[in-house]
Amino acid sequence: MDRMQQQEQFTQIYRDTFARLSRHVYFKTSDLQEAEDIVAAVYSDFYQHIVHKARKVENNLAYLKKMADHQISRYLARRRAMLSLDDENLGLDEILPDDFDIEDAAFEDLTHEEIWAAILDLTQAEQQVLIARHRLAMQFSEIARELGQSESVCPQDKVAKKGDDETGNRSMLCKR
């Protein structure tokens, strides 16, 4: 297989698996920056060891998830060794998306510090839901599935509605 065919094959595998692999990794690490780094490392390793060497894999997604699980194990071991209570070391300032959209308009009058102060008051699970919804563009039903919860965890009478986005999807947060 020539280099061009390898790149085309890898590009197709990447397109077919990226969203599901990213979700798989994020929900096991709960750290967006680390999840992105792990996904990048997994695809790099996959290209070098599988695609470049023309090895055949029966189920690409399953193989990539297995590779990611090994990377996550190494990440968790490092994280336990470097446990810190200092919020500045958590990289929370990197979670906001690079491009601003219509949902950002609702926060125009708030400073980043005020927004992060509010986010940091949330539980880890609530932070995960916000990141999954707004950074990974997941639907609430998908988030609930990934977290092993039913969608009814956020009943309608306990919902603070933020409005509908441009696609008509509901955008809401559970009240405490």
Domain count, the chain: 2
Tell me the residue range of the domain where 71 lies.
3-81
> What is the reported pTM?
0.51
Half-sphere exposure of 31 (CA within 13 A, CB side): 14
Average predicted confidence (pLDDT) for the chain: 75
pLDDT per position as a tens digit, 132-143:
887 788 888 888
**Residues 66 and 95 both lie in one domain:** no
The pLDDT value recorded for residue 176 is 36
pLDDT per position as a tens digit, 50-89:
887 878 889 999 999 999 999 999 888 877 766 554 555 5
Q: Which of 55, 81, 107 is the last residue of a domain?
A: 81
Quick check: 1 pLDDT over 90? no
**Residues 91 and 166 both lie in one domain:** yes
**Residues 69 and 114 both lie in one domain:** no
Q: Which of 153, 166, 94, 98 is nearest to 126 (CA)?
A: 153
Q: Which of 81, 97, 116 is the last residue of a domain?
A: 81
List CB contacts of 170: < 8 A, sequence separation 6 or more.
140, 161, 164
- Are 150 and 144 in contact by the 8 Å Cβ rule? The answer is yes
Ranked by mean pLDDT, which of 40-44, 83-87, 93-97, 142-146 comes out on top? 40-44
172 vs 116, residue with greater confidence: 116
Q: Which of 24, 53, 81 is the last residue of a domain?
A: 81
CATH number of 116's domain:
1.10.10
**Residues 59 and 91 both lie in one domain:** no
Identify the band that residue 38 occupies on the pLDDT scale cut at 50, 70 and 90: very high
